[in-house]
Structure 1
Amino acid sequence: MHKTSRITLAALALTGCCTALAQSNVAIYGRINTSIEHQKVGDRSVTAMVNNNSRIGFIGREDLGNGLRAGFKLEGGFQSDTGAGMLNGGGFSFGRSSHVYLSGNFGKVQLGRAGGSSYDYVADYGVLDEPNHDTGTVSDALYYGVTRGTNGISYSTPNIAGLIVEAALSMHEKDPSSDMKNSVDLSAIWGRSNWNFGAGYTKRGERNQWGLRASYTYEAFEIGAYIQRADDPVSGSVCNRATGGCGTRNSGRVNTMYTTGPSQFVIGYGWAGSWSEQRDSDAKQIMLGYNYHLSKRTKVYALFTKYDNAKNAKYGYSFNGGVGYGQDARSLGVGLRHAF
């Protein structure tokens, strides 16, 4: 009798476990994105293997009934060319995203670390994300990011006739390593027929930015463009100014893509004007890309990008050895991306 009871209890425990698993959903996801590029920065050139924001993550959700749902997301980046994490010394963390949320008919409330939707809805939407997910040397280095993201509280509305509005607050928690200011991020996205529009505003201490975007799709063609106004009265590092901030600056970008079968052809142009407190701090970028999709998750690609920096500008991501003030930078390469 005692043995039978133990077997029954074990069966009940196993049934309860499986029932719990059936009520929730946890998945591992990520992508490995690696390219081989010939880069030239100023008079320095190198052929290098480049990691393009490779990452791994975990997402989970539980249906609570009556339209209520709880979930989480953990995501961290790693160097696909070396296997190291993104922290100093090669350590790994969930620095890209670490949050828990509750959603329902009321919208979505989220707690933890996440990127600002003002960037997602303006500079990283649709064709503006192409040809390589706005990563690596071909990415948009001219967009001025302000969002802190850590210790975040956000609320997004439900989809109302194609409109979603999101508000986020990042608490400084009296952290002496930060600028001791809360960060505020406000954004909205609205789509109708072939059109989609985005808007975003971010303020962190004395720094702030706002941007507007429009995207249009017609059959195999897609075009997207944004404008941004940035204000940084604090730091002079982005404009080679020894004391004081850089002031205000306007920037913009337009990308277009043509899709035929598994092939995508992308061309983009971006510009950033000089900061108001520093002359000759403007820049422009041209970008060409080609994607060939072997499947929904795997593609091979080719890319070319070139930054023209004025003497007090140093725009450019993922270039070996970095980009200095006044240095032009360009890269030509091929790559392979696999998502899982």
Structure 2
Amino acid sequence: MKKIAIVAAIAAFAAPAAFAQSSVTLWGRINTSVESQSTDGGDRVAVVQNNSSRLGFKGTEDLGGGLKAQFLLEHGLNSDTGAATKGSSAFWNREAAVQLSGSFGAVKLGRWTNGSYFATADYISMHNHDTGTSSDALYAFGTGWREANKVGYFTPNYAGFTAEITASAGEGAPGVERAFDLSANYDMGPIHLGAGYGKEGDNSQYAIRGLYEMGAFTFGAYWQYEDHASKGVKNSTRNIGRVSAMYTMGASEFHVNVGGTESGGTAGFNNHGAKQYTFGYNYNLSKRTKVYGFYTAIDANDTKKGDFDSFAVGVRHNF
């Protein structure tokens, strides 16, 4: 025990010299719900559901003259089982990037979620930050969507306007073309506007978003157009849209989201199209913790294949 105490003391004295100009922050979110779910019109089952829980580290070093070096690492995990996020072989499956920032903005290298999504669909999903079973099931992720091997430039804030420009390298992999993602946001007073564009080969998508705050009410909407023009894809284009509203009263929030998509594109609903409805209630116990409940339903047009609905109650804690 004495040896351990001596080592700890030496580390404590050495640490200020090593980290005097840098800082590292641990952060994350645990978001778990209990749900009664039905898929394709089948019997209901009870499920403990993860809602995009994550663990992250971020650090910054002040290099002087307004220049900073920063890193960002974010791991997605399943809060219902403790396992890593399904469907991803990467440990830092949400973000792994390094950047230099200053008065010129920021240059970023690595892996992160496309800005075109945050500027549009995610921005108006106020109920549960577009996570879990109540997330937007209609938005076109598949066209021009690449998170890894990216180089990006982020502009500084000009009177409420910001933009992100990224390119993802194909790195010579067979059938993998370079991908590009562009996004822009305007946030000033009660008005919040956004736009996004993504392209990979002949495939592309673009979207616009608006959100307006009016006292206790907030209204949002986005519209997206997808063109999945890969060889052999039939009915390759579609329009997707969603409107949302929130009413706040003290610690309570009341939410409604309604969306729809045409048939075609990369949607699993393909030649049927679909609609989605979500009605939710949040109670904010603090700035970091809330309890919530919601009902969400996906209705595939003219078929039960793809139908889904869920009654849910949950807890979300940010740290």
Give the TM-score taking structure 1 as reference length: 0.85
Correspondence for 1:61: 60
d(CA) in 1 for partners of 2:233, 2:293: 41
Correspondence for 2:147: 149
Correspondence for 1:300: 291
d(CA) in 2 for partners of 1:27, 1:73: 10
d(CA) in 1 for partners of 2:158, 2:260: 34
Correspondence for 2:248: 259
Aligned residue runs from structure 1 range 176-187, under 5 A? 176=174, 179-187=175-183
Does the 8 Å contact 1:86/1:92 carry over to 2?
no
> Which of 252, 255, 258 lines up with 1:269 in the alignment?
258
> Which of 184, 191, 216 lines up with 1:220 in the alignment?
216
Does the 8 Å contact 1:101/1:110 carry over to 2?
yes
Moved more, 29-38 or 325-334: 325-334
1:206 is displaced (CA, Å) by 2.1
d(CA) in 1 for partners of 2:30, 2:265: 40
1:204 is displaced (CA, Å) by 1.2
Instruction: Tell whether 2:318 aligns with 1:336.
Output: no
d(CA) in 1 for partners of 2:80, 2:36: 15
> Which of 187, 196, 214 lines up with 2:192 in the alignment?
196
Does the 8 Å contact 1:33/1:337 carry over to 2?
yes
Q: In terms of Rg, which structure is larger?
A: 1
1:97 is displaced (CA, Å) by 0.3
Correspondence for 1:130: 126
1:18 is displaced (CA, Å) by 0.4
> Could you tell me which amino acid in structure 2 is paired with residue 172 of structure 1?
G
Unaligned runs of 5+ in 1: 1-9, 236-242, 313-324
1:87 is displaced (CA, Å) by 4.7
Does the 8 Å contact 1:233/1:246 carry over to 2?
no
1:210-250 per-residue CA deviation (whole Å, 9 max, x = no partner) reads 00001100111111101000011228xxxxxxx53441100
Does the 8 Å contact 2:228/2:236 carry over to 1?
yes
1:6-49 per-residue CA deviation (whole Å, 9 max, x = no partner) reads xxxx99x9766404423111011111111000011122321111
Does the 8 Å contact 2:227/2:265 carry over to 1?
no
1:91 is displaced (CA, Å) by 7.0
> Could you tell me which amino acid in structure 2 is paired with residue 100 of structure 1?
V
1:327 is displaced (CA, Å) by 3.5
Correspondence for 1:229: 225
Give the TM-score taking structure 2 as reference length: 0.90
1:276-311 per-residue CA deviation (whole Å, 9 max, x = no partner) reads 899842111110111111111111100111111025
d(CA) in 2 for partners of 1:299, 1:214: 26
Evaluate the alpha carbon distance shift between residue 279 and residue 135 of structure 1 in structure 2; reply closer, same or farther with a 3 A threshold: closer
d(CA) in 2 for partners of 1:40, 1:79: 21
Aligned residue runs from structure 1 range 60-79, under 5 A? 60-79=59-78
1:326 is displaced (CA, Å) by 2.6
1:80-113 per-residue CA deviation (whole Å, 9 max, x = no partner) reads 111111256x977001000000000111100000
Evaluate the alpha carbon distance shift between residue 106 and residue 91 of structure 1 in structure 2; reply closer, same or farther with a 3 A threshold: closer
Instruction: Tell whether 2:266 aligns with 1:287.
Output: no
Unaligned runs of 5+ in 2: 1-8
> Could you tell me which amino acid in structure 2 is paired with residue 281 of structure 1?
H
Tell me the SS of whatever aligns to 2:119: helix
> Could you tell me which amino acid in structure 1 is paired with residue 273 of structure 2?
D
Does the 8 Å contact 2:226/2:265 carry over to 1?
no
d(CA) in 1 for partners of 2:18, 2:248: 43
Q: How many matched pairs?
A: 306
d(CA) in 2 for partners of 1:34, 1:19: 41
Runs of 4+ in structure 1 over 3 Å off? 13-17, 276-280
Q: CA RMSD in A?
A: 2.3
Evaluate the alpha carbon distance shift between residue 329 and residue 276 of structure 1 in structure 2; reply closer, same or farther with a 3 A threshold: closer
> Could you tell me which amino acid in structure 2 is paired with residue 309 of structure 1?
A
Evaluate the alpha carbon distance shift between residue 295 and residue 96 of structure 1 in structure 2; reply closer, same or farther with a 3 A threshold: same
